[in-house]
Amino acid sequence: MKLKNLLWVVVSLIFVLSFSSSYAAGVIKIGVQAPITGPFANEGQGIDNAVKMLVEQQNAKGGLLGKKLEVVTCDDEGTAVGGAICARKLVNDGVIAVIGTYSSTPAESAEPIYARAGVLQTSDATADSLTKHGYWTFFRNSCPNSAEATFTADFLVKKMHFKRIVVLSDYSTYSSDLADATVAALKKIGGNVIYKGKIQAGSQNFTPILTKIKAMNPDVIYFSGYYTDGGLIRAQQVALGIKAAFVGGDSNDNPEFFKLAGKSANGVYMINVPRPDILPYPLAKEFLRDYQAKYHMMPPSIWTLFNADGLRAIMYAIEKTKTTDTKKLAAFLHNLKNFPGITGPITFTKDGERAGSRFMAYEIYNNNQYKVVYKED
């Protein structure tokens, strides 16, 4: 019986040794750290899909610097433990850059490991602290919440003149931070927030809070969470006969929102970066078309596109600097200005923050038609 103990240890050691890295010359390795399983599986698989597709396209064009690109994926399950383990594993596998991860916690636990190893990391995670550590390897590829919050506040108060504003979010770091930032921005310009609430993502039954809101007689409901909940909130809002307008943050802008909200989607306002179909360059359209052709579905959310942009920026840096030396790549990226991206022009600041993109507000009319109602000057 006791032999089993030793046996397990031996087996595990064999496993471990067989997993040690094999370094292939003539290949540039790109890591993907993403939640492939668990609650954010759709987002994680979206990031993985996007990276694999872009790398395949690049390889078809002959790769970079005469070398083929190779993708190594690691599932961090959206946890701190998974993030750290993946970071060590990817570093050990010899990747020069890592795309992802989706959420802040595993990005944070992975950050120091990449920094020490000199591996570039580009994530959409929104926690402020990620760019505050001074790690030269980290690049946030999503737009900071503060820019969107200011724009949203201006839209609600200066453009639409809403007097009774309700702000809703879910519990995710992204959504609750965006809601907090929006409330702060609203207060600054004298907006009247009559209620600020949180919903549990995925709970589907939002009527209790909406019924409560109904009694407050709001004239707008702003929701900073995801389309998976936003579409239902809008549908249930209309079903309850609440006349208020609905304004969705950027994560609501997804085709599934309209499926969920059905006819109630008409009259909804969306805040987002310029949409693919009205961008001055064909990149985004092209990306979405290719993605749909390859995977027979749309990317799960805007975050897939942000991470795709992170990869594109890094590939561009390799191409321009003609090196895979991450120090030189980071120096190049820190000075990157207005590189055309799928989600708008990409500019990185010195601390790896993406400079704010231009936002627009759209109104949905006549079943999924968009018109721009407000934009920054």
Partner 1 sequence: MRKNLVWYILFFTIAVIYPHFVDPSWVDIGTTFALYSVVALSQDIVLGKAGMFDMGHATFFGIGAYTAAILNTVYNIPIIYTIPIAIALSALFGIIISWPIIHLRGDYLLVATIGFNIIFYQALQNNLFGLTGGPNGIFGIGAPVIFGINISSQRAIYYFAWFILLITMLIIYNIDKSKLGRAFHYLRESEIAAESFGVNKRFYKVLAFALGAGVASLAGVIFAVQYAAVSPETFNFTQSVLFFTIVIVGGPSSIPGILLGTFVMFVVPQFFREFATARYFVFGIAMILTMILRPQGIWPAKFGKLPKYLTKES
Partner 2 sequence: MEIFLQQIVNGLAIGSIYALVAIGYTMVYGVMKLINFAHGDLVALAAYVGLTVLMQAFGMHLSNLWAVILMFTVTAMFISLFGIILERLAYRPLRKAPRLSAVVSALGASLAIENGIMLIWGPNIKVFPSNIFPSTRWHISGVVINSTQIAILLLSIILMIALYIFINRTKIGTAIRASAIDQDAAKLMGINVNGIIIAIFALGSFLGSIGGLFIGIYYRELYFQMGWIYGLNAFIAAIIGGIGNIPGAMLGGMLLGIFNVLIAGYVSNTWSEALTFALLIIILIIKPTGILGERVAEKV
- Residues forming contacts to partner 1 in the complex (CB under 8 A) are 1-2, 4-6, 8-9, 12-13, 15-17, 19-21, 36-37, 41, 45, 73-75, 78-81, 84-89, 91-92, 104-105, 108-109, 112-113, 127, 129, 171-173, 176-177
Q: Of 21, 59, 192, 207, which one interacts with partner 2 (CB under 8 A)?
A: 207
At 223, give phi and psi (nearest 5°). -120, 125
Which position among 21, 41, 52, 328 is part of the footprint of partner 2 (CB under 8 A)?
A: 41
Q: Tell me if 368 contacts partner 2 by CB under 8 A.
A: no
Tell me the C-alpha distance between 18 and 258, whole Å.
49
**Among 53, 69, 84, 260, which residue sits at the site for partner 2 (rule: CB under 8 A)?**
260
Asked if 199 touches partner 2 (CB under 8 A), the answer is: yes
- Which CB, 28 or 260, lies closer to partner 2? 260
Apex 112 CA angle, 109 and 115, nearest 5: 140
Residues from 296 through 315 that contact partner 2 (CB under 8 A): 297, 300
Report the residue number, 211 or 323, with the smaller CB distance to partner 2.
211
Bridge partners, residue 71, by sequence:
30
- The CA distance from 371 to 377, in Å, is 17
Residue 279 touching partner 2 (CB under 8 A): no
Q: Which is nearer to partner 1, 84 or 120 (CB)?
A: 84
Distance between CA atoms of 40 and 67, rounded to whole angstroms? Answer: 33
Contact pick of 256, 290, 351, 376 for partner 2 (by CB under 8 A): 256
| Smaller CB separation from partner 1, 69 or 360 | 69
70 vs 180, beta carbon nearer partner 2? 180
Q: Which of 231, 173, 229, 172 is nearest to 203 (CA)?
A: 229
Among 205, 217, 335, 338, binds partner 2 (CB under 8 A): 205
Closest CA to 373 of 154, 150, 185: 154
Based on the shown chain and the rule CB under 8 A, indicate whether residue 208 belongs to the binding site for partner 2: yes
The DSSP line for 244-294 is -EEEE-GGG-SHHHHHHHGGGGTT-EEEESPPGGGSSSSHHHHHHHHHHHH
Which range binds partner 2 by CB under 8 A, 123-131, 232-240, 310-318, 342-350? 232-240
Distance CA 48, CA 86 (A): 14
We find the least distance from the C-beta atom of residue 46 to partner 2, in angstroms, to be 8
Q: Where are the beta strands (DSSP E) in the chain?
A: 27-34, 68-75, 97-99, 120-123, 138-140, 165-169, 193-198, 220-223, 245-248, 269-272, 360-365, 369-375
Kindly state whether residue 241 participates in binding partner 2, applying the rule CB under 8 A. Answer: yes
Residues near partner 2 (CB under 8 A) are 37, 39, 41-42, 44-45, 197-200, 202-205, 207-209, 211-212, 214-215, 228, 231-232, 235, 239-241, 256, 259-260, 262-263, 297, 300
